[in-house]
Amino acid sequence: MANIAIVGAGQAGLFLGFGLLEDGHEVTLFSDQTHDAILNGRVPSGMGLFEDAVKKEAALGLTFWEEVMTLGEGAVLQMINPDGSVWLQITPPVPRPHRGVDQRLKNSRWMQELERRGATVRIVPLASPGDLDAQVAGFDLVLVATGKGPFSQLFARDPQRSPFDRPPRHIIGLHVKNFRPEVRTGTIRLLPGVGEFVHTPFYSRENLQGRFLLIEGIPGGPLDGFPRELSGRELLEAVQQTLRALIPGQLEDLKEAELISEQCWLRGSITPTVRHPVSRLASGRSVLGLGDAVTAHDPLAAQGGNNATHMADFYRSRIREHTGRTFTAEWMQQTFDDFWHAYGQYAMGVTAGLLMPPAPHQQAVLASAHQVPAVAAALIDGLFDPRTLFPWFVDPAFTGEFLSSRGVPLALLEQFQLAPHPS
């Protein structure tokens, strides 16, 4: 068995650590924070996981909150007119499950559990790649699962695979209570030219069944004008006021929402980016990137945590197949490329697709989903498994045939010049 180092105590690194332990490897996890510091720190993200990723967690015995949290079921997608009314609403006939657990609670618990199961956990502040180089001598394989701080430039950007060169949105995330915890659905509201507002069930560090509110503002627009000096509670009030003006009469649930604590919010921006997966340290050692270190997702499509989970699981299987041989840079590159072609490209494609204005054939899909339940199901299912959206959602050559096969009337297809080709 191999002696493997993982740098980073987030979703990807911890999840991979559990899988590698189960396969009999020696695992050492490097983190710059203790589990107590993670639990008591600021919220890092509002990650939600879909059914397939949750099943992979359950297979490793890691779903510790199923009995106490609100279990998310399904998502509703709305497009909003400039006057605030709903232009179309897409509700799939069969809801798909999803889960949202505070990353501080989850990562802290998982770190303790990983150590209990036999991993070595080292709390080491790594100020530079040189510090990492000094720590990882003697390991058979080193994986870097953090793209923050000194590791943000460890892996070079891949311009051929990166859909943006600047942040397409400015982001605010808020953990709130008093938001009808019995409601299990998530809602995605798209405000063309303005941004998006998303809320989903969420289980907080404080053991509350609350909601995660995600506000994505197009730079320079009305969802991007909040002063930087606002506290979390002031920011929530400003967001509530702005959204009530943009979507009048539709956000009664939001009226009573309260921030859980001053540590339960974040704001910033992300440029969706794909990085080259292999980096060489000064010693000549090659290290392999994992999760956010090599694929950074805007949270709108909720692909980041799911992609990280599937990538870690894919890496685990390739490590299992390769045990007993040297983990070369070529093997690392091939492992990432195979994952990219099997899953990663689709997750990034969905992220990019939601952040860009819909093309005419995608407008046809949205209009069809409003009227035809089978199209609504296929569209929402594409968020849960992005592979299912390709090629019909991204390539207009396939869109008409797909919609026709789902029962979309010919008149609607002709309206968008998408009549299927005669057989």
- pLDDT tens per residue across span 22-31: 999 999 999 9
Q: What is the pLDDT of residue 321?
A: 96
**Phi, psi of 237, rounded to the nearest 5 degrees:** -60, -40
The pLDDT, as a whole number, for residue 180 is: 73
pLDDT at residue 420, rounded to an integer? 66
> In CATH, what class is 3-65+101-163+272-353?
alpha beta
What is the domain partition of the chain in residue ranges? Answer: 3-65+101-163+272-353, 72-99+168-269, 359-415
- CATH number belonging to the domain at 72-99+168-269, selected among 3.40.50.720, 3.40.50.300, 3.30.9.40, 3.30.365.10: 3.30.9.40
Q: 247-251: long-range contacts (C-beta < 8 A, 24 or more apart)?
A: 247/80, 247/84, 247/189, 247/191, 247/197, 248/84, 249/84, 250/84, 250/86
User: Rounded distance, CA 67 to CA 80, Å?
Assistant: 35
Sorted by sequence, the CB contacts under 8 Å of residue 335 that are 6+ apart come out as 277, 288, 314, 315, 318
Residues in the chain predicted with pLDDT less than 70, given as ranges, are: 181, 419-423
Spatial contact of 170 and 219, defined as CB atoms under 8 Å apart:
yes
Predicted TM-score of the model (pTM):
0.95
Written as one string, the DSSP assignment of 356-420 is SPPPHHHHHHHHHHHH-HHHHHHHHHHHHSGGGGTTTTT-HHHHHHHHHHTT--HHHHHHTT-PP
**399-418 pLDDT per residue, tens:** 999 999 999 998 888 888 88
3-state secondary structure of 292: helix
- pLDDT confidence of residue 191: 95
**The predicted structure's pLDDT at residue 422:** 54
| pLDDT value, residue 18 | 98
